[in-house]
Amino acid sequence: MPILTKPSNCCLEGFRGNSGTLKSPVQRCSRLDNRHSSIHTGNECGKRKPCLLLTRAYMSGQRMVFARKKGCMLMTTPPGENRLVTDPELLTELVRLDGQGEMLTRSMGGVLPELSRAERNGIQDVLDLACGPGEWVLQLVFENPKMHVVGVDISHRIINYANAKAQEEQSPATFQILDVLSHPLPFADGSFDLVNMRLGFSFLLPGQWPSLLAECLRLLRPGGLIRLCETERSLSNNAVFEKYMTLWTDTFFRDHRTFSPDGLHYGLLPMVKLLLEQAGFMQLRHVPYMIDVSANSPTHQTFFADMLALLQDGLPFLRRMARGPSELEELEAIYDQLRGLVNQEDFCAYWPLMTFLGSKPKMP
């Protein structure tokens, strides 16, 4: 049941209050542009007082996620809306993701390090959502030639590259261009034993998780597994690096991309099990990872190459979100500052990741 608090003087059009129903799937403040609704404060929309205090609420039907905020209204993302931080068709993005994927798989101990041999043996059909350049898929098929594995991604360039790599390696893996936010996904119910997704946080908005997870449940056979690998900001002993991390968490927060209550982190990791449970998954478990990215660690160079490339490719988004000239100036300076940290001997940092696993119930 939805937990909505009736707002007083809310500027929202169409809000009905305690009954928990919303007249339309997308609620907007009249002062917001039509492209996307958003969290904002009472002041921003011209009301003298904040008009709504919502706790996080999950609406069973429309499955919308609200965050707690003193302000007019927050949320809501149309399930299919794509608001990307980087252009997935950029060549630099492809190169970045290829290096990042390889580093992640190696650092985490393989493609399915959390599964027992028996669990792996039970898997035949696999779907990798937002697969990137296909490194995980190709490695999985290489190690398990009997598996049928399909990777899907929104980027034409990335999928063309992944298919070319599969051909070159004579791999039976297949790759398709697909927007995973466009539901229903073009696969029959119960087509897969495993649905995998790594770093969904990079493009999924909070309100888009429930419907995507519901699709994953539909696509899995009874007893099938979902595997989500997600992340949080890295921890370091360096002020420049922390400033860079804060740049992303804070900007993501202001763009309503996080589950964080204050923008100090992304806030997805504490939410994943709840999201999986609410989607109907059972036997939930998690495995944490801390990848050492300090100077002299084997991942250091790749990690920094990834960050510098992300900063370049994300600049249009970061510039758009900057609040005034001083933030723009800081943005222009941070690339060189960050580059200065590469191989700095006393640089110490960890990149946290967590894998979450859940099963589709065997009985409906």
Q: Enumerate binding residues for ligand SAM (CB under 6 A).
A: 82, 84, 88, 97, 101, 130-132, 136, 153-155, 158, 178-181, 198-199, 202-203
Q: Label the pairing between strands 220-231 and 282-292.
A: unpaired
- Taking CB atoms, the residue at the shortest distance from ligand SAM is 132
Given the complex with ligand SAM, which of 59 and 159 has the nearer CB atom?
159
Q: How far is the CB of 100 from ligand SAM (least distance, A)?
A: 6
Q: How far is the CB of 134 from ligand SAM (least distance, A)?
A: 8
Q: How far is the CB of 293 from ligand SAM (least distance, A)?
A: 16
Two tokens, residue 204: 């999924």
Spell 112-146 as b/e; 16+ CB within 10 A means b: bebbeeeeeeebebbbbbbbbbbbbbbbbbeebee
**How many whole angstroms from its chain centre is CA 173?**
24
Given the complex with ligand SAM, which of 180 and 341 has the nearer CB atom?
180
Q: Which element (helix H / strand E) includes 287?
A: strand 282-292
Q: How far is the CB of 342 from ligand SAM (least distance, A)?
A: 21
In one letter, which amino acid is 318?
L
Given the complex with ligand SAM, which of 52 and 196 has the nearer CB atom?
196
Q: How far is the CB of 152 from ligand SAM (least distance, A)?
A: 6
Two tokens, residue 136: 């995980």
DSSP type of residue 6: P
Given the complex with ligand SAM, which of 40 and 227 has the nearer CB atom?
227
Q: How far is the CB of 181 from ligand SAM (least distance, A)?
A: 4
Q: Label the pairing between strands 349-359 and 282-292.
A: antiparallel
Q: How far is the CB of 137 from ligand SAM (least distance, A)?
A: 9
Q: Among residues 31, 111, 18, which one has the least CA distance to residue 57?
A: 18
Given the complex with ligand SAM, which of 15 and 192 has the nearer CB atom?
192
Q: How far is the CB of 234 from ligand SAM (least distance, A)?
A: 15
Q: Label the pairing between strands 192-198 and 125-129.
A: parallel
What are residue 175's DSSP bridge partners?
A: 151
Q: How far apart are CA 211 and CA 240, in angstroms?
A: 37
Q: CA 274, 279, 283, 286 torsion: positive or negative?
A: negative
Q: Do 210 and 275 meet the contact criterion of CB atoms below 8 Å apart?
A: yes
Given the complex with ligand SAM, which of 29 and 152 has the nearer CB atom?
152
Given the complex with ligand SAM, which of 131 and 276 has the nearer CB atom?
131
Q: Residue 204 class from Cβ within 10 Å (0-12 exposed, 13-18 middle, 19+ buried)?
A: buried
Given the complex with ligand SAM, which of 69 and 218 has the nearer CB atom?
218
Q: How far apart are CA 151 and CA 162, in angstroms?
A: 9
Q: How far is the CB of 303 from ligand SAM (least distance, A)?
A: 14
DSSP type of residue 270: G
**How many whole angstroms from its chain centre is CA 135?**
18
Q: CA 245, 268, 197, 315 torsion: positive or negative?
A: negative
Given the complex with ligand SAM, which of 12 and 196 has the nearer CB atom?
196
